């Protein structure tokens, strides 16, 4: 099993910032494309951001463009989600995901998932 471990969640006031981290396993031949998804209370899981294996390509959901930044460090085997200008609508359980090939924006494309980490934004 590919184990993904998220960290960095918590509670913040609207307008504040948080940075999520996700540790992923080392691979000898190649690494993974990575992504972040989130699931707000009572809603379906939705795409947030994805990053290619070498980190040179990223894609964001319209709802987070200009506010969130996904990045990765393949030496430390960690992907990050920097979240700025947070608002109440960003409150959700955030999930890290990995797949063996290129970036994708649908959850069904990802075979490996973290346990999820809560982000709560208060007004």
Q: Pick the closest to residue 37 from 77, 14, 6 (CA basis).
A: 6
> Cα torsion for 35, 39, 45, 51, to the nearest 10°?
-10
Name the β-bridge partners of 68: 83
* Per-residue model confidence as pLDDT tens for the chain (123 residues): 789 999 999 999 999 999 999 999 988 667 899 999 999 999 999 999 999 999 999 999 999 999 999 999 999 999 999 999 999 999 999 999 999 989 999 999 999 999 999 999 999
- At 69 the pLDDT is 98
- At 27 the pLDDT is 81
**Residue 22 tokens, joined:** 């996700």
| SS3 at position 109 | helix
Name the β-bridge partners of 99: 33
């Amino acid at each position: 099993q590919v184990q993904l471990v998220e960290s960095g969640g918590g509670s913040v006031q609207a307008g504040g910032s948080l940075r999520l981290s996700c540790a992923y396993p080392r691979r000898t031949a190649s690494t993974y494309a990575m992504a972040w998804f989130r699931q707000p209370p009572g809603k379906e899981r939705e795409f947030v951001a994805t990053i290619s294996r070498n980190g040179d390509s990223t894609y964001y959901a319209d709802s987070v463009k200009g506010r969130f930044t996904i990045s990765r460090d393949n030496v430390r085997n960690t992907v990050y989600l920097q979240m700025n200008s947070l608002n109440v609508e960003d409150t959700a359980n955030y999930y890290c995901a990995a797949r063996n090939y290129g970036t994708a924006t649908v959850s069904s494309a990802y075979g490996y998932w973290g346990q999820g980490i809560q982000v709560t934004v208060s007004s």
